[in-house]
Structure 1
Amino acid sequence: MEIQISPGFKKQAQRAILSIVLFIVSFILLTLLGLAVVAFFVFLAFKILIFMGNFIGMLLAVGLVGSAIVLLIFLFKFIFQKSSNSTEGMHQIYTSQHPKFFKMIHEIADEVGTDFPKKVFLTDQLNASVFYDSSFWSMIFPVRKNLMIGYALVNVSTEQELKGILAHEFGHFSQRSMKIGSYVYNCNRIIFSLVFENSSFEENVNKFSNGHILFKLTVGFSIYIIRGFQFVLKQFYIFLNKSNLSLSREMEFHADAVATNIVGSQVMIDSLARMDLSDRAYGSANAFTNSKYSEGFRLCNFYDVQTYVLNIIARKDKHNFNEHLPKVTLDELRLQNKSRLNIKDQWASHPTMEERIESIQRLNIQTVNNSLEPAKFLFEKPNEIELKLTKLIYPEHELTDLKELSSTEEKDMYDDFLKSVSFNEIYNGYYDNKNPLTEISKVIDVDSSVTLKSLFSDEEVALGAKYLSLNQDYKDVEYLAFQKHKIKTFDFDGIKYRKKNAENLLKNLDKELLDLKNQIESHDDLIYSFFYHKAQDKGLFLEWDSIYKTYITMDKLYDLGYKKAVKFEEVLVFMNKQSSIPVIQENLKIMKPFEEVFKTHLKELVATDLFQNDINEERRKLIINYIDNDEAYLRNEQWNDPALNLLFDCLRNISYIHSDLIFTAKKNLLDFQANQLK
Structure 2
Amino acid sequence: MKIDFPPAPHNGGVDAISVSPSFKKGVTSVVLRIVCFMIVYLLLVLAAIALAVGCFYAGVFVMTARLGFYTLLGGLGLMAVGVSLVFFLVKFVFASRKKSNNALTEITEAEQPHLFAFIRQLTTETQTAFPGKIYLSPEVNASVFYDSSFRSMFLPVKKNLVIGLGLVNGLNMGEFKAVMAHEFGHFSQRSMKLGSFTYNVNLIIYDMLYNNSGYTGFLQAWGNLHGILSVFMTITAKTAQAIQWVLQQMYKIVNKGYMGLSREMEFHADAIAASVAGGNNLNSASGRITLADISYNRAVDSVNENLAAKKISANLFADQMVVLQQLSADYQLPLSGGLPVVTPAFRDTLRTTRVNYKDQWASHPTDEERAVNVDRLQMQAPVTEAKAWDLFNNPEQVQEAMTQRLYALSNIETASLTYYTAHEFAEQVRAEKDDWQLPEHFTAILQGYYPETKGLDTAAEINAPKEEWAAIATPVNLQLPRHIKILDNDIEMLKAIAARQVETNSFDFDGEKYPASEAAALAAKLEQEKAEADRQLSQLHVRVRRYLLQQQAPGFEAYAVRAALCNTFGDTAGLTAENIHPFFQPSGGASINDVIHRITLLKNKYEPMVKEDLRKCLAAGIYEGNDELREEAESFLITNYAYLTNNRLESAELKTLYQLLHKNSEWLARQRFIALRNWLYAVHEKAPADQKQAAAIV
**Mapped pair 1:517 → 2:534:** yes
Q: Which moved more, 1:221-230 or 1:180-189?
A: 180-189
Aligned residue number for residue 21 of structure 1: 35
* Aligned partner of 2:305 among 284, 288, 291: 291
Aligned residue number for residue 225 of structure 1: 239
Offset at 1:672? 2.7
Aligned residue number for residue 553 of structure 2: 537
Aligned residue number for residue 202 of structure 1: 216
Aligned residue number for residue 265 of structure 1: 279
Q: Which moved more, 1:247-256 or 1:176-185?
A: 176-185
Aligned residue number for residue 324 of structure 1: 338
Change beyond 3 A, Cα 1:87–1:553: same
Aligned residue number for residue 127 of structure 1: 141
Q: Which moved more, 1:425-434 or 1:411-420?
A: 425-434
Query: Within 5 Å, which residues of 2 pair with 1:550-561?
Result: 550-554=565-569, 556-557=571-572, 560=575
**Mapped pair 1:248 → 2:262:** yes
Contact 1:574–1:587 under 8 Å retained in 2: no
Aligned residue number for residue 393 of structure 2: 380
Aligned residue number for residue 581 of structure 1: none
Offset at 1:532? 2.5
Helix, strand or coil at the partner of 2:125: helix
* Aligned partner of 1:409 among 424, 427, 434: 424
Letter of the 2:216 counterpart: E
Contact 1:90–1:121 under 8 Å retained in 2: yes
**In 1, distance between residues paired with 2:312 and 2:592?**
50
Aligned residue number for residue 106 of structure 1: 120
Offset at 1:654? 10
Offset at 1:32? 1.4
Aligned residue number for residue 46 of structure 2: 32
Aligned residue number for residue 561 of structure 2: 546
* Aligned partner of 2:679 among 661, 673, 677: 673
* Aligned partner of 2:296 among 277, 282, 289: 282
**Mapped pair 1:469 → 2:486:** yes
* Aligned partner of 1:187 among 201, 205, 216: 201
Query: Within 5 Å, which residues of 2 pair with 1:27-106?
Result: 27-81=41-95, 83-106=97-120
Change beyond 3 A, Cα 1:473–1:357: same
Contact 2:48–2:82 under 8 Å retained in 1: no
**In 1, distance between residues paired with 2:246 and 2:661?**
42
Helix, strand or coil at the partner of 2:163: strand
Aligned residue number for residue 670 of structure 2: 664
Contact 1:428–1:461 under 8 Å retained in 2: no
Aligned residue number for residue 495 of structure 1: 512
Helix, strand or coil at the partner of 1:398: coil
Render the CA deviation track for 1:105-137: whole Å, top value 9, x for unaligned.
223333334333232221222212222342334
Render the CA deviation track for 1:258-304: whole Å, top value 9, x for unaligned.
22222111110111012222222222222222222211222222222
Offset at 1:318? 1.5
Change beyond 3 A, Cα 1:465–1:133: same
Aligned residue number for residue 170 of structure 2: 156
Contact 2:337–2:387 under 8 Å retained in 1: no
Change beyond 3 A, Cα 1:283–1:439: farther
Offset at 1:28? 1.6
Helix, strand or coil at the partner of 1:240: helix
Render the CA deviation track for 1:490-546: whole Å, top value 9, x for unaligned.
222233334553454345434433443333222211221233344x433x3321221
**In 2, distance between residues paired with 1:33 and 1:262?**
53
**Mapped pair 1:115 → 2:132:** no
Change beyond 3 A, Cα 1:75–1:464: same
**Mapped pair 1:310 → 2:345:** no
Letter of the 2:125 counterpart: E
* Aligned partner of 1:527 among 541, 544, 547: 544
Render the CA deviation track for 1:359-379: whole Å, top value 9, x for unaligned.
212222121x53121111211
Change beyond 3 A, Cα 1:616–1:220: farther
Render the CA deviation track for 1:329-361: whole Å, top value 9, x for unaligned.
345413531633223322222222222222212
How does the TM-score come out when normalised to structure 2? Answer: 0.82
Query: Within 5 Å, which residues of 2 pair with 1:164-175?
Result: 164-175=178-189
Aligned residue number for residue 140 of structure 1: 154
Helix, strand or coil at the partner of 2:479: helix
Change beyond 3 A, Cα 1:134–1:629: farther
Aligned residue number for residue 400 of structure 1: 415
Identity across the alignment (%): 26
Change beyond 3 A, Cα 1:49–1:338: closer
**Mapped pair 1:631 → 2:644:** yes
Contact 2:573–2:610 under 8 Å retained in 1: no
* Aligned partner of 2:251 among 234, 237, 242: 237
Query: Within 5 Å, which residues of 2 pair with 1:571-650?
Result: 575-576=588-589, 584=591, 628=641, 630-631=643-644
Aligned residue number for residue 460 of structure 1: 477
**In 1, distance between residues paired with 2:107 and 2:656?**
43
**In 2, distance between residues paired with 1:627 and 1:269?**
64
Offset at 1:313? 0.7
**In 2, distance between residues paired with 1:457 and 1:87?**
53
**In 2, distance between residues paired with 1:35 and 1:600?**
71
Letter of the 2:252 counterpart: I
Aligned residue number for residue 20 of structure 2: 6
**Mapped pair 1:419 → 2:425:** no
Letter of the 1:398 counterpart: E
Helix, strand or coil at the partner of 1:176: coil
**In 2, distance between residues paired with 1:505 and 1:178?**
40
Contact 2:296–2:317 under 8 Å retained in 1: no
Contact 2:59–2:75 under 8 Å retained in 1: yes
Helix, strand or coil at the partner of 1:134: coil
Helix, strand or coil at the partner of 1:496: strand
Q: How many residues align?
A: 656
Helix, strand or coil at the partner of 2:136: strand
Q: Which moved more, 1:22-31 or 1:195-204?
A: 195-204
Higher relative contact order (CA 8 A, sep 6+): 2
CA RMSD of superposed structures (Å): 3.9
Contact 1:477–1:502 under 8 Å retained in 2: yes
Aligned residue number for residue 351 of structure 1: 365
Letter of the 1:35 counterpart: I
Contact 2:570–2:665 under 8 Å retained in 1: no
Structure 2's unaligned 5+ residue stretches are 1-13, 685-698
